[in-house]
């Protein structure tokens, strides 16, 4: 969930550093003195700066003794700036993180324990993604996930039942084979052959990506082979090969929008682009093998362990992520999805059409496959797995050899 528009807010254009720990209080020990906390973010960059300010204004109205200084950075610059300020001890009181990076931040000791938070306000899997050994160290601020899109018109024409939450890989494959007409340029399925799909389908097959202690990979297993074969086996049979266009930018979205793709594994961020599609479509929870597991991407906020105002910063973090005022702003603006559990508050989202089955978005959170997180070498690990799976899909390696080579290369990263 990247944001790349020019930065705004109170940070100077020439300074890509995060604001120093909250200063704006007054004499130490004066409990009634005004408190200023700082919040540095990337989530509002690119068009939601005013929406964030609405939430901040609502928080300050409810907490007149606290003011929030907001600093907004582009996604491309944010994490470099964050690392600089963490190293220098000048990080903001509250700051954005991503789920993929949570483990490394928590392990390094930069996140304050967030005590007294009612985590029942959040979707369970989202809250648990930011807890370690039973202690909450960050709060989810938004999420998106991957579901199974399907072209209802193609299913109707073939006389097939629509996908349901009870489907398995076998059900998906059977339908994909029936719906594929390569001569007419119609394909039954599309699922990228990449790391981001592999760790998820590995979980669906009942396997683990890393060993329990994280010291070595565990994906070179019978479950890993089955997961890789599930992805690789679609290429050229029920989905296009790389030579036929698969993997090129926007190929999959274009194919689905043209009515030439029956099923598509992709994220809910594609809803808007299909609002004017000239055919009926909907979504379902992704099928599993031995179990269901859905990919979830999430942003969160943490509180600096070095903040002078941890209590006030925690109050703001909780308000920003779960207060009704914040949820209402997000839903009205269509600004990613709030992580709350209260379906009544979410009714404005669930009652929208296109797709009709928006409940699947939240049902997918019942069984989540979190992306493996390395303290170092994350990008390299992702590239290695994608490269080896691509070799298998192209027929240059067997699945078994590709996973063996990926195991060796990733284990070298793990040291």
**pLDDT > 90? residue 12:** no
Residue 318 DSSP SS3: helix
Band (pLDDT 50/70/90 cuts) for residue 334 is confident
pLDDT digits (tens, 9 = 90+) for 364-403: 999 999 999 887 898 899 999 999 999 999 999 999 999 9
Which helix (DSSP H) or strand (DSSP E) does residue 282 occupy?
Answer: strand 281-284
pLDDT digits (tens, 9 = 90+) for 251-294: 999 999 999 999 999 999 999 899 899 999 999 999 999 999 99
Distance CA 247, CA 255 (A): 12
**pLDDT > 80? residue 309:** yes
Distance CA 136, CA 129 (A): 9
Distance CA 301, CA 122 (A): 14
Mean pLDDT, range 71-87, rounded to an integer: 96
pLDDT digits (tens, 9 = 90+) for 206-220: 999 999 999 999 999
**pLDDT > 50? residue 29:** no
Q: What is the pTM of this model?
A: 0.86
Distance CA 178, CA 175 (A): 5
Average pLDDT, the chain: 92
Angle at 197 between CA 193 and CA 198, to 5 degrees: 85
Percent of the chain with pLDDT over 90: 85
Distance CA 215, CA 55 (A): 42
In whole angstroms, what separates CA 151 from the centre of its chain?
24
pLDDT at position 376: 83
Distance CA 256, CA 277 (A): 9
Evaluate whether 35-144+297-350 and 145-295+366-414 have a shared fold. Answer: yes
**pLDDT > 70? residue 22:** no
Distance CA 214, CA 280 (A): 44
The answer to whether domain 145-295+366-414 has CATH 3.40.190.10 is yes
Distance CA 391, CA 380 (A): 17
* Beta-ladder partners of 67: 36
Superfamily assignment of 35-144+297-350 in CATH? Periplasmic binding protein-like II (3.40.190.10)
Check residues 359 and 7 and name the one with the higher pLDDT.
359
For residue 148, is it left (φ>0), alpha (ψ between -120 and 50) or beta?
beta
Percent of the chain with pLDDT over 70: 93
- 401: phi then psi, degrees, rounded to nearest 5: -70, -40
pLDDT at position 54: 98
Q: Where are the domains of the chain?
A: 35-144+297-350, 145-295+366-414
Which helix (DSSP H) or strand (DSSP E) does residue 403 occupy?
Answer: helix 399-414
DSSP string, 204-265: HTT--SB-TTSSSB--SSHHHHHHHHHHHTTBTTTB--TTTTTTSTTHHHHHHHTT-BSEEE
pLDDT at position 30: 59
As given in the structure block, the two tokens for residue 110 are 């930069």
β-pairing, 368-369 with 294-303? Answer: parallel
β-pairing, 135-136 with 94-98? Answer: unpaired
Mean pLDDT, range 121-150, rounded to an integer: 97
Band (pLDDT 50/70/90 cuts) for residue 242 is very high
């Amino acid at each position: 969930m990247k944001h790349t528009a020019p930065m705004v807010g109170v940070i100077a254009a020439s300074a890509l550093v995060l604001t120093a720990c909250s200063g704006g209080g007054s004499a130490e020990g004066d409990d009634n003195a005004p408190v200023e906390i700082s919040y540095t973010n990337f989530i509002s960059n690119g068009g939601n700066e005013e929406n964030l300010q609405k939430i901040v204004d609502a928080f300050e109205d409810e907490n007149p003794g606290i003011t929030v200084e907001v600093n907004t950075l582009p996604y491309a610059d944010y994490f470099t700036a964050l690392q600089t300020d963490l190293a220098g001890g000048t990080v903001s009181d509250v700051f954005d993180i991503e789920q993929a990076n949570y483990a490394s931040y928590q392990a390094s000791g930069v996140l304050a324990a967030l005590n007294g938070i009612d985590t029942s306000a959040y979707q369970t899997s989202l809250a648990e993604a930011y807890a370690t050994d039973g202690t909450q160290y960050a709060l989810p601020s938004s999420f998106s996930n991957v579901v199974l899109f399907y072209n209802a018109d193609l299913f109707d024409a073939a006389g097939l039942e629509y996908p349901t939450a009870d489907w398995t890989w076998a059900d998906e494959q059977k339908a994909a084979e029936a719906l594929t007409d390569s001569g007419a340029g119609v394909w039954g399925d599309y699922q990228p052959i990449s790391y981001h799909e592999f760790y998820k389908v590995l979980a669906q097959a009942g396997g683990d990506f890393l060993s329990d202690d994280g010291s070595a990979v565990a994906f070179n297993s019978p479950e890993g082979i089955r997961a890789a074969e599930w992805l690789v086996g679609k290429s050229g049979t029920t989905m296009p090969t790389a030579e036929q266009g698969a993997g090129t930018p926007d190929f999959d979205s274009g194919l689905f929008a043209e009515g030439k793709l029956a099923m598509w594994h992709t994220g809910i961020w594609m809803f808007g682009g299909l609002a004017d599609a000239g055919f009926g479509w909907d979504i379902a929870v992704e099928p599993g093998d031995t179990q269901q597991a859905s990919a979830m991407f999430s942003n969160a906020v943490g509180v600096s362990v070095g903040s002078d105002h941890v209590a006030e910063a925690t109050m703001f973090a909780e308000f920003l992520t779960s207060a009704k005022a914040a949820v209402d702003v997000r839903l009205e603006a269509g600004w990613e999805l709030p992580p709350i559990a209260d379906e009544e508050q979410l009714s404005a989202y669930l009652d929208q059409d296109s797709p009709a089955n928006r409940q699947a978005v939240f049902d997918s959170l019942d069984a989540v496959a979190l992306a493996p997180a390395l303290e170092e070498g994350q990008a390299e690990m992702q590239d290695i797995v994608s490269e080896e799976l691509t070799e298998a899909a192209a027929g240059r390696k067997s699945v078994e050899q590709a996973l063996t080579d990926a195991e060796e290369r990733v284990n070298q990263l793990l040291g």
